[in-house]
Amino acid sequence: MPKREVIEQRTEALLAPILEETGYDLWDVQYVSENKEYFLRVYIDKEGGITIDDCVDVSRKLSDALDSDEFIDDAYTLEVSSPGLGRRLVKDREFDRSIGRDVDVRFYKSIDGTKELTGKLISYDKDTVTIETDDGDLHSLNRSDIATVKLSVDF
């Protein structure tokens, strides 16, 4: 298993009791390298949204747990935040939480004359994402054709 995945999984395991105690949901954990610097990014959510104080609370508790466990050899920066309004859906748990919500789907290349569709997320599996557009049409889209799926944001 790649080092990145090991770090993400072990971080998720450390987060589980913290999130259970605080009542927050885990959206994602990412261990990434940018410009030769490492970042451990944790995205949390809860009904009604996440505040800065929520992020600070989880960051302090997770930082203590990471310091005790010491399984990350690299110097890194820990970031805890909300996934944001127009959050990208990648993992199954993100799709599960978003069933019935409006999503924007962008394709790698034009399909039937369009590079994106917006509609309600109806279902998904490892090969397809199904959305219902405003006109009531169901579109079963091949995941291999999809560049991104994001929650729609209306202002």
**pLDDT single digits (tens) 14-34:** 999 999 999 999 989 999 999
Which structural domains are found in the chain, ordered by start? 3-81 (3.30.300.70), 92-151 (2.30.30.100)
pLDDT classification of 143: cutoffs 50, 70, 90 = very high
**pLDDT at position 154 over 80:** no
Give the number of other Cβ atoms within 10 Å of residue 60's Cβ: 13
Q: What confidence score (pLDDT) does residue 146 get?
A: 95
- The rounded percent of the chain whose pLDDT value lies above 90 is 80
Q: Which two tokens stand for residue 77?
A: 């920066």
Task: Give the pLDDT band of residue 8 (cuts 50, 70, 90).
Answer: very high
Alpha helix ranges (H) inside the chain:
3-22, 52-69, 92-98
Q: What is the pLDDT at residue 86?
A: 81
How confident is the model at residue 93, as a pLDDT?
Answer: 83
Contacts of 92 (CB under 8 A, 6+ apart): 124
Band of residue 97 on the pLDDT scale cut at 50, 70, 90: confident
**Which of 94-123 are b and which e, b meaning 16 or more Cβ less than 10 Å from the residue's Cβ?**
bbebbeeebbbbebeeebeeeeebebbbee
Look at residue 49 in the predicted model and tell me its pLDDT.
Answer: 85
Q: Mean pLDDT throughout 125-154?
A: 93
Q: Is the pLDDT of residue 135 over 80?
A: yes
pLDDT value for 155: 63
